[in-house]
Homo-oligomer: A and B are copies of this chain.
Amino acid sequence: MNKINRKVEYALIALKHMRAKAPGELTAAKEISTLYGCPFDVMSRVLQALGKRGLVRSEQGAHGGYQISRDLAKVSFYELNEMLLGPVAVAKCLHEEAGEPSCEMRGKCNIVSPVTTLNRKLIEFYRGLSLAELLDPRHASVQSRIPTNIAQAAADAAAVAEQR
């Protein structure tokens, strides 16, 4: 599993849609929601949240709407997540906010260090992934991915062989 949040998906949908438009052109939340079949309310809230964080610019009133206001090549997937869900924390003992119910195992727990490591690495991974790279199909196919996969496949085969 490991599903990403739906809000993030909606944000990607909206960004991908708006990215294809001419600079300065506005897009209404309703336009996106009807086009892609997602609930207007949710899409609206997502865009409002992104507006507050400065990723999109909003214009009110009739003929109002949203437009992307930052270069997506310079916005990481981590930033997008943070805008919509707050700081990444793979376990609840990390980033303990006031009022949040802390983990009752804290103190006895033997994996705080591993979990902290994982959290750091995941953030690094998300930080290294720009929205442009994610949304642009050209980027997806480049990046010399194939060699990596072959190496992985070879490693897998070796591991399987070893287990016998």
Contacts and interface: CB of A to CB of B under 8 A. Distances in A.
Interface of A: 1-5, 9, 12-13, 16-17, 35-38, 54, 70, 74, 77, 81, 85-92, 104-105, 108-111, 113-115, 117-118, 120-122, 124-125, 127, 129, 134-135, 137, 140, 145, 148, 152, 159, 162-163
B105 A37 contact: yes
A12 B124 contact: no
Nearest to A74: B159
Contacts of A148: 124
Given A37-B108, A38-B105, A111-B135, 4 more contacts: A1-B85, A2-B122, A4-B91, A9-B115
A12 B110 CA distance: 9
